[in-house]
A and B are shown apart, each in its own frame.
Chain A
Amino acid sequence: MKNRLYKFTYCLLALCTLQSCDKGLEELNINPDASSTVSPDFVFTKAQYDAVGNMITGLQGTMQYTTSYNDVASWGSKYIFNQGTAPYTVFSNAYPNEINEIGEVIRALEKDPLLVNKLAIAKIWRAYSFSKITDLYGDIPYKQAAQGYTQSIFKPTYDAQKDIYADILSELEKAIALFDATKSTFGAADLIYGGDITKWKKFAYSLMLRMGMRMTKPDVALAETWVKKAIAGSLITEDADIAKIVYLSSGQVINQNPLAYWMLNSDYLKADGVSNPEGGKYHETFINYLKKTNDPRLPVLSVVYVGGNPVRTLAFRKECLLRFPIPNHLILSPTQNPIRTQF
């Protein structure tokens, strides 16, 4: 009887091991909604959107361009401690997004010598993305950055800003040297220049010029060398060369101008000139400064609503702006204030 039990147990075990208990398990663990291979063009486009869109939102409040009668939105002008994360989000967003993405693009493109132009453009874009972060924050992780997957580096060390600028400069030089007009390049996936090698060279030299000028304080001799190199190359000199992304006016959020989208969908959502959920309006300090310097942009900055309809006469806008800026001590919602910031 006991034998039978053992036989049975053995059978059970044998059944399982022979059939292999992990059969089919690996196949089951494949995400049906993701791809195991990278499409460098698509990731590159994402990295362009991300690097350009990564900016300090709410800056107009921090810089006291705008203020509000309420406490939360007016922290810039009423000296109330900011409870938001705005000061550091550019830093913490950059690495998991544009920096890691462009790194993945480079990792994929490096394998194929036919794709050197794409590789060069990607390297220039990485240099630009890093330049934005170090400009904002100074010393940042650079050499070891975004190597969590490739090198298992989970806590990268910081590099000195001058070393970062120096490396960006040499990276730009190397990238420019990679260009080969006989090989293929990005098409529409490059939102800025559509893969135009000449324009990317201009962009790279212009960035070299900017980085070179950044070096004037730590190392003026080195700065001079790079600035001269940049000028000897080809710089952006005309409107057609301007690096810009043309956004869509509707559709998915990522395809729309991020600054405008953010404002138009938060405080300036209700386009009637009177009501904004957070009460944000132009701040008198800012308007008075523009007035004092007789700044020609003064009337262009705003939309003025009368009876809920926008009025586009510049003189009228200017007149309103000068009459209705919000003083920082305001604590009640103004009942009459037809001005709305313009984007």
Chain B
Amino acid sequence: MTIVEKGSTKGTVTDSQGKYSISLSSSQATLIFSYIGFVAQEVAVNGRSIVDVSLKEDATQLGEVVVTALGITKDKKALGYSVTEVKGSEFTQARENNVANALSGKIAGVNATGLSTGPGGSSRIIIRGNGSLTGDNQPLYVINGMPIDNTVPGGSATTNGGQGNVDRGDGIAGINPDDIESISVLKGGTAAALYGSRAANGVILITTKKGKAQRGIGVEYNSTFTMENAAVFPDWQYEYGQGDGAAKPTTQAQGIAWGRRSWGAKIDGSDFVAADGQTHPYSAQKDNIKNFYQTGKTFTNTLAFTGGNEKVNYRFSLSDLDAKGILPTNTYKRKTGNLNINGSFGDKISLEAVAQYTLENGHNKTGAGDALGNPNWTPYMIGNTSDIRWLNPGYDASGNEIAWNDADIASNSYFVVNKYQQDDSKNRFIGQLGLTYKILKNLSVKGTVSRDFYNYNYRYILPTGTRYIPNGQYNQLKTDVSETNSMLTANYNTTFGHFGFSALAGMNQRNFSYNQLNLTGATFTIPFFYSSTNLATSSTTPLNQHTRTNSVFGSIDLDYKGVAFLTATGRQDWFSTLSPQNNTIFYPSVGGSFVLSQAFQLPRLFDYAKVRASWAQVGGATPDPYVINLTYSMIPSSGQPLQNVTTNVTTSSGLANAALKPLTSTTFEAGIDLQFFNKKLGLDLTYYNRATTNDIVQTSTSPTSGYNSVYLNVGKLNNRGIEALVTVTPIRTANFGWNMSYNVAYNQSKVVKLADGINSMQMATSVGNWAYINSIEGSSYGTIVGTTRVRDAKGNIVYDPASGFAQKSALQELGKGVPPLTMGFTNEFKYKNFSLNILLDGKFGNKVFSVMEVYANRMGKLKRTLDGRENGLTLTGVTPTGDTYTRTVAKENLRVYYDNDKNYTELFLHDGSFVKLRQVIFSYNIPTSALKFAKLQSASISFVARNLLTLYKQTDNFDPEQSFTNSSNQGFESLGLPRTRSYGANLIVKF
């Protein structure tokens, strides 16, 4: 409880027993007692030395107030849509470096996936399905009411990229969890209407911690140390060892040529010669993953100071995160300074300001995708009788890469971690200033300016001495991104009779600018000297994008006796990315809720019952700038000048289209909120239907049209589903409490229409074009497409007698890339000062295609390749004409036979469903009485673990959550970093 002396700067807070002391300026002073969720009380001291008060619960508030659009707090029962709030402490104890990853499993309908790319990596969050056929489909992030940027500088990693295909980290990765008071997730369109087009995919509202009126300076110290280790290991075969043609290597030449092949003789403990030229026992080496990767360590320290009085309060925090990844030499450091000031000048004017500076430094982040420069290749693919450490350090005396296998494109992982260089740094400033002027008691005007700016530098060096590219390559990115919003709003509220009325009107201008220089070059003239000045060839590509959206908006709220609520909003946007004839759209929303339990006398069983429904439209203009007019660009030339038709500035060959108009996303949702048995059982059910029409699609066209794609307003996409949240409190006593919370969501995604004459759109391809991610009319967004072995009506495999291999089918749909069913189950136990929080997280119904397994199959590491090792493999099936077909592949030729399996996508496609023990937090609130000497206000210590166990999965050799890009293209595994288990301790002390 906070106690302040009215009209002075004096204040204090109570201790855990509720005791306090305060020195007053006069014995006739008045004290103000306040506590969140309770009605504040003013008590005149009247000369007393002991003043005891007990506050009344604020019936309208307790647990029911949520932060909604524009940072406005609303009574939860007044909302016509679903909002979920998560407290900041959920992110600080068992922390993820990227705070967004910690949302996984916590909120129904929010599909959060942390990438397996090490510290500093991005996250991918999808709320109620992928809403648009283009764009990243991720929600808008908002801090204290103003949007921030969440771009990945230089773009997300691609699904099939080679050297330098790293995850450079997104915007939310730069937010320090310790500065977060709470996170609200607005899932519906109504919730988002006030943020405009970018909110069509939902909004994640972050409210940062603020200062409060108190005596002296409050100090909070939060320290976390976590360790992580690779937690998922492939289930390889260890019966036949390294080698080829059923023979083991006996010379160094063979040891190298067969370095990644496990097609050798039966493992028998005899001698063989490995790639290092040494003789080793021919025995299984099962720990290459453990031996190559190290224990990752993250040490985070945050120190926060708070203070202030009734007029002005502040919070200032400094935070340092120092992480060492599981990949040797990979580090990530993040320093954050955050200042939050709130003040009021007189009765009329109040001010709020936030300034945050973040410095992020990454070193040697992992690559994923193709083989070159991918540090994860060797530990997975090295022959199964070789110990990866025999390849350490991966380079010779002159610094050249040492060969370990027949294909130089498959880099020596030790050479990659020791000699490749990848460094990035991001300086980011977020500033917000809001000024409110109270014209009347119930009419105020607020002006806010916010700017999120970052400057990013990236340098990637493929060094001299790389076997595949001996003279090296160089890539440098300089990216400046800013998101600036200026907003003016007016708020008015009044009551007449039983009606409450409030209105809001506002205007906003958003300016976004992205300026980038991308320098690529090759061949270091002076070997081992890595500067852009030392390149034989180089080229610089500029990318300068500027967009602006102007908006006016308004909102009206009506309530009747606190029983029935109605909200209507409207917004008009003008987009710079579209032509003046088509650049504006108006979109409305309406929502209402009705509290049955207050309107009617319900059976005693019901404590609370509310129904809600809403309908909302959101307009959008997703295309990049400059795609409405055909332009011509110069091509760098050393001879005659060259010019070409400008293809889309970010991707390739997109045809401009001046007729583009804004797209519309329409959401209908209805729900019911019930509480029974003295609030021991709660149920929250939601149905939604979200349709995107006139979607701006970069549709693939036949390249013979002169362009590989064109922007068209043709897409129609539908996402509908149900969300349920069940809360149970089986036990609630003074000393012991047990809360259960289960959330589940099912989203059915359907591509209703692409373009006339086009029913499939390719979004991504795997390495080797072995699988595709397409959006296909009538199917889910992001369907995995590939080939199968042709079978006859009886299920026999059809063989081509000419080649001796199974016939490959045409491309067909093989499964969903995004899980439709997600759920989370939290159990929280409290006993006196102890608490235990256990979160289970599950996703179901998607497929994952594994590029790693394609290689592992070719290299003889998959268990399925054991067939035929002893006496050859006999194939039986039918010919295309229906005759019986049989042939035996000699054991010496198995490698070539199995290698051909890469033509059949189905063999390496697995169910991606899983259930994981996502998080366990065991914490102890240290009684301050025990630490009185230290003058502590509170202290707690927690033991935390993330991703502790996988309880269910269908993939033998990798983790189903093996994503390495936060783009919309999900469904591939491609030799990324192994998933990890982390565990650690967290200490919070408040003085």
* A→B interface (CB under 8 Å): 1-2, 4-5, 8-9, 12-13, 15-16, 21-22, 24-26, 28-39, 41-43, 45-46, 49, 69-72, 78, 80-81, 83, 85, 91-93, 95-97, 99-101, 103-104, 140-141, 145-149, 153-156, 188-189, 191, 248, 250-255, 265, 269-270, 275, 277-279, 331-333, 335
Contact = CB atoms under 8 A, between A and B. Distances in A.
A28 B547 contact: yes
A335 B494 contact: no
Interface string B547-576: 110111010000000000000000010111
Contact of B902 (A13, A34, A83, A145): A83
22 contacts: A1-B442, A1-B443, A9-B505, A12-B552, A25-B575, A26-B580, A31-B631, A32-B544, A34-B632, A34-B633, A35-B631, A96-B653, A141-B702, A141-B704, A145-B705, A148-B706, A156-B702, A254-B642, A269-B470, A277-B407, A332-B254, A333-B253
B630 interface: yes
Interface string B622-636: 000110111111111
B640 A188 contact: yes
A34 B631 contact: yes
B505 A8 contact: yes
B92 to A, nearest CB: 40
B42 interface: no
B757 interface: yes
Contacts of A25: 548, 550, 574-576, 580, 583
Interface stretch (B219-227, B284-292, B535-543, B950-958): B535-543
A81 B440 CA distance: 78
B625 A29 contact: yes
A121 to B, nearest CB: 15
B706 A145 contact: yes
B643 interface: yes
Contacts of A270: 470
Contacts, number: 253
Given A25-B583, A101-B645, A277-B409, A8 B638 contact: no
B409 A140 contact: no
A265 B469 CA distance: 8
A327 B647 CA distance: 45
A109 B899 CA distance: 53
Interface string B435-464: 000011011010000000000000000000
A12 B505 contact: yes
Nearest to B522: A265
Contacts of B640: 42, 45, 188-189, 191
A250 B638 contact: yes
A333 B574 CA distance: 64
Q: Closest 6 interchain pairs by CB?
A: A251-B638, A148-B705, A100-B706, A146-B706, A42-B643, A34-B631
A335 B253 contact: yes
B584 interface: yes
Contacts of A333: 253, 256-257, 406
Nearest to B471: A269
B580 A22 contact: yes
Contacts of B230: none
Contacts of B632: 34-39, 43
A39 B641 CA distance: 10
Contacts of A31: 544, 625-626, 631, 646, 649
A253 B537 contact: yes
A64 B828 CA distance: 68
B488 interface: yes
Interface in B701-743: 701-708, 710
Interface residues of B, number: 98
Given A22-B584, A85-B769, A13 B552 contact: yes
A196 to B, nearest CB: 16
B355 interface: no
Contact of A155 (B406, B577, B642, B757): B757
Chain A CB within 10 Å, residue with most, of B539, B632, B642, B758:
B642
Nearest to A93: B703
B359 to A, nearest CB: 30
Nearest to B513: A28
B896 interface: yes
A103 B704 contact: no
B608 interface: no
B440 A1 contact: yes
B492 interface: yes
Contacts of A22: 550, 574, 580, 583-584
Contacts of A41: 641
Given A38-B643, A42-B643, A254-B635, A149 B554 contact: no
Given A26-B576, A31-B626, A333-B406, A92 B703 contact: yes
B703 A96 contact: yes
A99 B653 CA distance: 14
Contacts of B633: 33-35
Contacts of A30: 626
Contacts of B639: 191, 248, 251, 255
A156 B656 contact: no
A95 B702 CA distance: 9
A83 B630 CA distance: 35
A250 B538 CA distance: 11
Contacts of B469: 269, 277
A252 B537 contact: yes
A252 B769 contact: no
A34 B257 contact: no
Given A31-B649, A34-B631, A83-B902, A156 B577 contact: no
A26 B550 CA distance: 13
Contacts of A1: 440, 442-443, 494
Contacts of B584: 21-22
A42 to B, nearest CB: 4
A278 B584 CA distance: 55
A254 B539 CA distance: 11
B425 to A, nearest CB: 25
Contacts of B543: 33
A100 B550 CA distance: 37
Contacts of A153: 705
Contacts of A12: 488, 490, 505-507, 552
A331 B656 contact: no
Contact of A146 (B256, B539, B705): B705
Contacts of A331: 244-245, 257
B399 interface: no
B768 interface: yes
B261 to A, nearest CB: 10
Given A38-B632, A83-B768, A250-B536, A147 B625 contact: no
A145 B704 contact: yes
